[in-house]
A = this chain, B = another copy of it.
Amino acid sequence: MRVDHDHDEAPAGTARPGSEYVDREQQVLDRIEKARKRKPKIKEERITSSHGAGGKATQTLVEALFLDRFRNPLLEKLEDGAELSVGQSRLAFTTDSFVVSPLFFPGGDIGDLAVNGTVNDLAVSGATPLYLSAGFIIEEGFPVADLTRIVESMSAAAETAGVQIVTGDTKVVQKGKADGCYVNTAGVGLRETDHQLGIDTARPGDAILVSGPIGDHGVTVMLERGELDIDSDVESDTAAVHGLVRDVLAGSTGVRAMRDATRGGVATILNEVARAAGVSVVVDEETVPVRHEVRGASELLGIDPLYVACEGRIVVVVDGAESEATLATMRAHPLGSESAIIGRIGEDPPGLVLLNTTFGGTRIVDLLVGDPLPRIC
């Protein structure tokens, strides 16, 4: 899934022509390039958890099945929210289902996750989030008290985000046909900005910023399941980022794209940027903010924090000339006080994400294969 190349003889980001390093590196690049050029095709006969993990299998499913059958230019952009023209208005429209387990965890629950997730998808597409729908699929026997807690959490999150939940639906399935409660939200927002946002607009020289420590949400949920024997104070970062996004857009004309780093983490977003824009993305590992506990838990889980979901962090791609100003804007917002510039857009190799590691090497950070963190959102 991820190829390590920590060689002393090959300093970060460089490669000497003719060296063994270059040969091996080139072989890897060629293999990835070849795989990516193949028409996407679902090889499996049955759906696996990987298809829901946000990585390679999800991408194949989306491209080989959903895009192929639902083919239309709005869906093909594959942004977090579709941009619609309805009557005289430019709208954004998005949806997400939430199947997180457990339903309640430090810092949040499935309710505020479902509201914030959809609010954030609208926000990063440059829209003002306005209206949400809520669809519940509930397992028979689910405690009404828990449902009440979820609904109250959704209500509070909606109020904080300034959105209204205006339509809904409830279905109940038999015991053993769900897992407590699943929640779908869809959202409508109004696009008023003149920023032409899109991950395909990233260009060499742009800077990449994140709005705070990454991986808090994913690690919190894993720890809450008791799968790791760690005591930790880490909490989910679930939050509505529309205010932060608004400040970023107001403070800079050079914003290319924003994404909230959920399933698949920051690494997945950077891969999507690299592919959509045909550029390389170079990240300096030591600049990526990661809490101590999150780093420790990730090591135990054998996963790079770059792949671990956040629920209140945005990744911003901005004109390099505006990177410091944008950083200052982000740090001035309560949800962005620990923002950092973590990398830049380059030219070569197009479509790939390279990480300059803290040990001085460089490695390719590819899309996830498999599903190391199932049902974290």
Q: Could you list which residues of chain A lie within 8 angstroms of chain B, going by C-beta atoms?
A: 42, 44-53, 58, 61-62, 65-66, 69-70, 72, 74-75, 81-82, 84, 86-91, 93-99, 130-131, 133-145, 147-148, 151-152, 154-155, 158, 164-174, 176-179, 182, 184, 186, 188, 190, 192, 371, 374-375
CB of B135 within 8 A of CB of A188, answer no
> Which B residues touch A151, using CB under 8 A?
65-66, 69-70
Question: Chain B residue with minimal CB distance to A138?
Answer: B47
Contact of A47 among B49, B93, B141, B166 (CB under 8 A): B141
CB of A167 within 8 A of CB of B93, answer yes
- The answer to whether A95 and B154 touch (CB under 8 A), given A61-B170, A144-B46, A165-B70, is no
Instruction: List the number of copies, as a whole number.
Output: 2
Contact of A136 among B89, B97, B173, B371 (CB under 8 A): B97
Q: How far is the CA of A182 from the CA of B139 in the complex (A)?
A: 13
Which 10 interchain pairs have the tightest Cβ spacing?
A52-B172, A186-B186, A87-B89, A95-B133, A88-B88, A82-B166, A184-B184, A74-B166, A97-B135, A177-B179
CB of A166 within 8 A of CB of B75, answer yes
Q: How far is the CA of A197 from the CA of B134 in the complex (A)?
A: 23
SS class, residues of chain A in contact with chain B = mixed
A-B contact pairs, 6 of them (CB 8 A): A46-B140, A52-B171, A69-B154, A87-B90, A135-B135, A188-B188
CB of B70 within 8 A of CB of A158, answer yes
Q: How far is the CA of A45 from the CA of B75 in the complex (A)?
A: 42
Q: How far is the CA of A52 from the CA of B89 in the complex (A)?
A: 35
A88 to chain B, nearest CB (A): 4
> Which B residues touch A182, using CB under 8 A?
137, 171, 182
> Which B residues touch A49, using CB under 8 A?
140, 172, 174
- The answer to whether A48 and B172 touch (CB under 8 A), given A75-B166, A178-B177, is yes
CB of A47 within 8 A of CB of B172, answer yes
CB of A190 within 8 A of CB of B155, answer no
> Which B residues touch A166, using CB under 8 A?
72, 74-75, 82, 84, 93
> Which B residues touch A137, using CB under 8 A?
97, 99, 137, 182
CB of A133 within 8 A of CB of B178, answer no
> Which B residues touch A65, using CB under 8 A?
144, 147-148, 151
